[in-house]
Structure formats: structure tokens, C-alpha cells
């Protein structure tokens, strides 16, 4: 992919003034139409287009008063609600048609089959799907048999020990849900079932990734090396900011500990607010 051109700060200011002379003002729409390079380069040197316009001394687009909502005109006909295409007879006929073609009319199957509008119409015109089926003369579908619990109490401890011998994980989030649920029903908790099997529950926990100060500093330096602007919004994709605040109190403290303050001074506008005093200092 060809690398896109980027302008320096002075080039951006110069091009903004040229654009204002040619078009009378500078806006994101006019830049997008006539000078996309400037539009792409502004975020590298300014917090936004308004700040760049202020430094360049060029005007923005003229103010346009928003149109007021006046409502319907006097004497006009009131808007009429679109009549519903569904009615009670149509709901019953559609259910009969589905039943004749061998399709299920249960709630779940209707949803899967894309008949959500039929379900809503049944509630609106027939008092619900069950009543609509009864009115249509359709036999109520039988309840689906749920899978029975096949885990007996005497099977749990041997299953846990077998997983241990096979080197499989015994963490609560990694074992089969049937085994986990049976252990809780018969032993009160997964930890109690592990204790009954003679296994230390702390030894089977999944190790969580921890952000130590050393890990945080290493990641910040890597981000700076890759060209990151080190803003919180950018770093949030690379590191857990809650861990940064936990270890250092604030992101700035972590950047200082990583020796990256010079990187911020080179782009000191990043994350800071543009005040009248700052504008005056930049112009001077």
C-alpha cells in the first residue's frame, strides 16, 4: 500500500490560508472536496479543525440558522396511521397454512423460521400464540423432552480423578458443564468436589494475566516505538488502563516512569484543552 502524504504544521497553516482565499472559508466539507491532504494532516498537529483555523487566522463556514419545526400546515389533512396488514382471520389462516405444510408453530420454531411478525400479530389480534393456535384448531405441540441428568453422585469423583490423570484442566471454566453442575448439586460447590477427590483447588485455577509495573512500562515503550500518540483512547486498545491507574495512580505517572515525557512534549497538544491563553501563547 502506498504511503499517504502528510504535511508539516507550517504547511497545514499555509494551505489553510490558501484554501480560505480561494473559497472564502474553511470547513471539513470544503477540505474533503478540494484538499484531502490537509484534512488528513490536521490531527497530527492540532486537536481539531477549529483550533487549526484559529492558528491560521481563517474563518469557518457562515452560520446557518437551523430550520424550525413548524408542524403540519394550517388546513392540511392529519396524517393517518397505516392500516395493519394483519387481522385475526389472517393470523389463524397463516397458522393453519404452516400446520398443513408440516411446519411447527411453536414460538421457537416460528422465530427461527422468520415469522416474528406473525407472533406479534397473534398477540395483538388473538390474545397470544397459544390462543391463536387453539382458535385455528391446531393441536398444541407437545413439550420437547429435556436431556436428563446422567451424572450420579458416585460418578463425579472418579470423573474428576480421570481428568487429572489425563492432564486435562480442572478449572471450573474448563470442565464439562454437566460435570460441573452435578458436582455443585451433590457436593455444594466445585471446590468441595475437588477437595473430596483429594485435589487442591488452588492448583487448578487458570492463571490470569497480571499487569505489573514492569509489564506496563514495557508495553508503553513498545507503543511509543510503534508510533502511538500515547493518548488514553489509543492505549486502551493495547493495555488495561485500570491496571495502569492501580499501579501508578495515573497514566501520566506511568509515562513518566517509562521515560516517555519527551515524547509527549514533542506533541504537547495531545490530550490538552485549547484555552484562550494557550492560543495566545502559540500565536506569539
| Tens-digit pLDDT profile for residues 75-125 | 677 666 666 788 999 999 999 999 998 888 888 888 777 888 898 889 888
User: CA torsion, points 216, 231, 227, 29, in degrees to nearest 10?
Assistant: 160
Contacts of 13 (CB under 8 A, 6+ apart): 52, 55, 56
DSSP letter for each residue of 113-130? TT-HHHHHHHHHHHSSHH
**pLDDT for the residue numbered 277:** 47
Over residues 11-15, the mean pLDDT reads: 90
Residue 62 C-beta-side C-alpha neighbours within 13 Å = 4
- If phi > 0 it is left, if psi is from -120 to 50 it is alpha, else beta; for residue 145 that is beta
Over residues 133-140, the mean pLDDT reads: 89
Cell numbers of 196, please? Answer: 473430596
**pLDDT for the residue numbered 3:** 61
Query: Band of the pLDDT at 267, cuts 50, 70, 90?
Result: low
Closest CA to 61 of 117, 97, 92, 23: 23
Q: Residue 221's Cα: distance from chain center in Å? A: 27
Q: What is the DSSP letter of 273?
A: -
Determine the Cα–Cα distance for residues 95 and 103; give it in Å rounded to an integer: 9
Judged against a pLDDT cut of 60, whether residue 279 lies above it is answered with no
CA distances from 20 to 56, 133, 207 (A): 10, 70, 59
Would you say the pTM of this structure is higher than 0.85? no
Average pLDDT, whole number, for the chain?
81
Determine the Cα–Cα distance for residues 114 and 125; give it in Å rounded to an integer: 19
Determine the Cα–Cα distance for residues 168 and 130; give it in Å rounded to an integer: 47
Condensed to tens digits (0 to 9), the pLDDT of residues 16-75 reads 999 999 988 899 888 988 888 888 888 888 888 888 888 889 998 887 777 776 666 776
- If phi > 0 it is left, if psi is from -120 to 50 it is alpha, else beta; for residue 71 that is left
Determine the Cα–Cα distance for residues 275 and 281; give it in Å rounded to an integer: 10
Amino acid at each position: 500500500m502506498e504511503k499517504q502524504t502528510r504535511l508539516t504544521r507550517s504547511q497545514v497553516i499555509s494551505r489553510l490560508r490558501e484554501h480560505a482565499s480561494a473559497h472564502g472559508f474553511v470547513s471539513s466539507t470544503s477540505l474533503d472536496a478540494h484538499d484531502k491532504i490537509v484534512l488528513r494532516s490536521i490531527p497530527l498537529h492540532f486537536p481539531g479543525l477549529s483550533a487549526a483555523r484559529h492558528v491560521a487566522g481563517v474563518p469557518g463556514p457562515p452560520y446557518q440558522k437551523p430550520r424550525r419545526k413548524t408542524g403540519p400546515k394550517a388546513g392540511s389533512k392529519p396524517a393517518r396511521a397505516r392500516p395493519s396488514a394483519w387481522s385475526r382471520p389472517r393470523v389463524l389462516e397463516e397458522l393453519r397454512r404452516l400446520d398443513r405444510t408440516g411446519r411447527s408453530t411453536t414460538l421457537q420454531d416460528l422465530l427461527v423460521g422468520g415469522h416474528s411478525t406473525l407472533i406479534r400479530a397473534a398477540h395483538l389480534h388473538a390474545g397470544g400464540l397459544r390462543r391463536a393456535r387453539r382458535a385455528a384448531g391446531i393441536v398444541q405441540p407437545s413439550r420437547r423432552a429435556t436431556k436428563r441428568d446422567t451424572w450420579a453422585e458416585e460418578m463425579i469423583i472418579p470423573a474428576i480423578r480421570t481428568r487429572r490423570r489425563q492432564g486435562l484442566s480442572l478449572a471450573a471454566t474448563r470442565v464439562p458443564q454437566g460435570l460441573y453442575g452435578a458436582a455443585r448439586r451433590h457436593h455444594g460447590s466445585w471446590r468441595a468436589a475437588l477437595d473430596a477427590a483429594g485435589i487442591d483447588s488452588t492448583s487448578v485455577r487458570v492463571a490470569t494475566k497480571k499487569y505489573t509495573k514492569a509489564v506496563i512500562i514495557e508495553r508503553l515503550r513498545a507503543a511509543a516505538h510503534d508510533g502511538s500518540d500515547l493518548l488514553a483512547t489509543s492505549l486502551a486498545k493495547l493495555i488495561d488502563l485500570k491496571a495502569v491507574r492501580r499501579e501508578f495512580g495515573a497514566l501520566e505517572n506511568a509515562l513518566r516512569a517509562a521515560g516517555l515525557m519527551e515524547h509527549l512534549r514533542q506533541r504537547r497538544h495531545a490530550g490538552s484543552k485549547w484555552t484562550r491563553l494557550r492560543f495566545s501563547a502559540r500565536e506569539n
